[in-house]
Amino acid sequence: MTSPRRYDRIAFVASAGAEAQQALGQLVELYGDRDPKQADVVVALGGDGLMLQTLHQHMRTGTPIYGMHRGTVGFLMNEYSTLDLHARLAAARESVIHPLLMRATDVHGVVHLHHAINEVSLFRQTYQAARLRILIDERERMAELIADGVLVATPAGSTAYNLSVQGPIIPINAPLLALTPISPFRPRRWRGAILPDNAKVSFSVLEAAKRPVAVVADQKEVRDIREVHIAACRKHQLTLLFDPGSSLEERIFAEQFLA
């Protein structure tokens, strides 16, 4: 049996909110604060926005991230407490996720590369609906989607924006991606698709000058795009820590039974 991993060297990060900053002061006084480059674990204090920022910042280090809720939305966070942090970290369960890699080319020919942990979303920039062509593994699957936009979500992101636009919830360990339209006009009855996570998804913007489109990879936006290519990134592996009984897998599963 593998012995529990030790997390003796803790680095703390916190959002700018008063609640998070107060928690930061309390925890640093109790447990100290290491440089993230030398830490065994990073403890993030805030909401899901801070968690996504922290995951992006440590994407290439492999350092596990343990969140405590001191913000607004806390789906990716554990409950806040100053007690027995070392014991909580030792008992925590790991959830491993892989991000998406987005390659977007704008109308000027500039290429933009960004990772997304939750989703990559395309949005119309003006009052006119976007016109998009969809290819999967270089094969055209939809010649024209007229909509406010469309997104590709990971299992981790399937309960975020994807769920709010009526996309499917995907179990965290399922090798799948969700392709979900945002307010589709034509085809009117298309509700999206479930794709294998090794699929390569491409979008071409039709009438890019007349109907400009922006793309957002989590919190990174690129405007006036011409085409976007999205695929799972196996190069990077992200580890989130959750208290026993409230793993990311359990949270995503439980979302399917909420009224």
Q: List the chain domain ranges.
A: 10-98+236-255, 100-232
Determine the pLDDT at residue 5: 73
For residue 164, the surrounding DSSP H or E stretch is helix 161-164
CATH class of residue range 100-232: mainly beta
Which residues of the chain register pLDDT less than 50?
1-2
β-bridge pairing 225-232 and 201-206: antiparallel
Task: Find the distance separating the first CA and the last CA of the chain, reported in whole Å.
Answer: 40
Instruction: Look up tokens 């290519």; give the residue.
Output: 229
Task: Please confirm, yes or no, whether 48 is among the known catalytic residues.
Answer: yes
Nearest-CA neighbor of 156 among 117, 214, 125, 205? 117
Determine the pLDDT at residue 257: 85
CATH class of residue range 10-98+236-255: alpha beta
Determine the pLDDT at residue 4: 59
Determine the pLDDT at residue 253: 82
The pair of three-digit structure tokens given for residue 249, joined into one six-digit string: 């897998």
Instruction: Spot the catalytic one: 33, 35, 48, 197.
Output: 48
Q: What is the pLDDT of residues 106-165, one digit of tens each?
A: 999 999 999 999 999 999 999 999 999 999 999 999 999 999 999 999 999 999 999 999
For residues 109 and 92, the answer to whether their CB atoms sit within 8 Å is: no
Determine the pLDDT at residue 1: 41
